[in-house]
Every structure is written in C-alpha cells, then in structure tokens.
Amino acid sequence: MKSVITEDELMGFIQENRREMYYFAMSMIANPTEAQDVVGEAITRAFEHRHQLRKKDSAKAWLMQIVANEAKKILRGRKRIVSLDAMALEQSSEEGESYEDVWHYIQALPSAFQSVTVLYYYDQLSVEEIAKILNISVGTVKSRLSRSRAKLAEMMERDGYSYE
C-alpha cells in the first residue's frame, strides 16, 4: 500500500509535534525517562507503519494514537497507579509561572480527566480525535472535559485566580 506521507514529511511533522507527544506520554505515565522512551518508540512505529495513515489531515490523531498505544504497553507492565507529580519538574523556567501553575492543577485531576485535558487544550485535538485515541465515546470525552473545566475552575478560584 502506498503511503500518503513521505518519510521527509513525517519527520517534519514529528519534529513539529514532538513536544506535544512528550507531554501526552507524561500525562499517561508520569515518568520523564519512560515518556522519552515512549516518544522514541512511537516515532519508530510511525515510520514502520506510515503506510497505514489514510489521510494527512488525521496525521496528528494517528501519531497520538501511536503514543497512547506505546504508553499503554508500559502501563500494562506496571502494577501500580501513577500520578503526574514528575511533570512539574519538566517545565522550563522560561515558560513562566502561570504555565507551571496550570500543570499543577491538572496534576490534581483524576487521571481520566488529565488525559482529555492535555489532548484538548495542549495538543489541540478535536473531541472526536480524543475519543478515537483513548477508545472512548465522544460523549465521554465531552463529559470529562466539562467536569475537568469545572474542577480546574474550582481549584483555581479557591487559590485566588480569577478569569473570564
């Protein structure tokens, strides 16, 4: 089967999205070293299976699905539940305090809400793409986003943040 994306196009696309791939992996496994491994494996898989990509405009969802699958392999090997505590350590100081503050609040969310929040707001995926990546219904994604927003607003207001 002929691929809809060349190796050079795929490499460029991966370079554009590598950071988002890493943060998504971190949202799932909360370990910087393992997240880097997940991204590396996902890149390898993307090149191996680029012929399976049907449309260029769905490349981001396809790539994030590969990241999710690789992260799930690691999670299946674990016997414990992890949090996102390590993620705050990965933030660079040049990104500003408010960015770190938001990550702090996202870390406090249940893991099901963390994933949809990261994919929607940071990776800017559609509700439909998130549903496909996480293998859940569109309604579940919408519900989790709504509950996530409410919980984030509650936590931030409690700590003195205001927004419109």
Q: Which domain range does residue 96 map to?
A: 7-158
Is 163 inside a domain boundary? no
Question: Using an 8 Å Cβ cutoff, are 83 and 28 in contact?
Answer: no
- Is 129 a member of any domain? yes
CATH number of the domain encompassing residue 108:
1.10.10.10
pLDDT for res 75: 77
Encode pLDDT of 110-143 as tens digits: 888 988 888 888 778 899 989 988 889 999 999 9
Q: Is residue 164 included in any domain, yes or no?
A: no
Query: Per-residue pLDDT averaged across 9-15, rounded?
Result: 93
Say if 2 falls within a structural domain: no
| Domain-located, residue 123 | yes
* Tally of structural domains, the chain: 1
How many whole angstroms separate alpha carbon 110 and alpha carbon 71? 17
Tokens 């490349």 correspond to 59
pLDDT in tens, 43-92: 999 999 998 888 888 888 899 889 988 988 887 766 433 333 333 334 33
DSSP 103-158: HHHHHTS-HHHHHHHIIIIIS---HHHHHHHHT--HHHHHHHHHHHHHHHHHHHHH
